[in-house]
């Protein structure tokens, strides 16, 4: 699952590939925005944790997992 996180006052967005489902990511974002959690905590596909302060979130884009094509296409 590709997740893009916009952070206020940061020139670039954070882009990660996460093994979490879209619902899990959405729930983590909702908890951060409603004040239940002070940090948005996500895990990438290598097991690293990404922590973003909830008050600095600008946006979170949840996309589909990128399919990597191997080989040559048909002509």
Q: What is the CATH number of the domain that holds 49?
A: 2.30.30
Give a yes or no: residue 53 inside a domain. Answer: yes
Structural domain of 29: 2-62
Give a yes or no: residue 16 inside a domain. Answer: yes
**Alpha helix segments (H runs only) across the chain:** 22-33
Q: Measured on CA atoms in the order 6, 7, 9, 13, is the torsion positive or negative? A: negative
Domain count, the chain: 1
Mean pLDDT of 18-39: 93
36-56 pLDDT, tens digit each: 899 999 999 999 999 999 999
| Cβ contacts of 21 within 8 Å, gap of 6 or more | 1
Read off the pLDDT band of 25 (50, 70, 90): very high
């Amino acid at each position: 699952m590709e997740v893009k996180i916009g952070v206020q006052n940061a020139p670039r967005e954070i882009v990660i590939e996460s093994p979490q489902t879209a619902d899990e990511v959405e729930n983590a974002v909702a908890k951060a925005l409603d004040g239940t959690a002070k940090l948005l905590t996500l895990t990438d596909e290598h097991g690293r944790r990404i922590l973003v302060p909830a008050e600095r979130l600008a946006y979170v884009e949840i996309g589909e997992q990128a399919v990597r094509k191997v080989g040559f296409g048909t002509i």
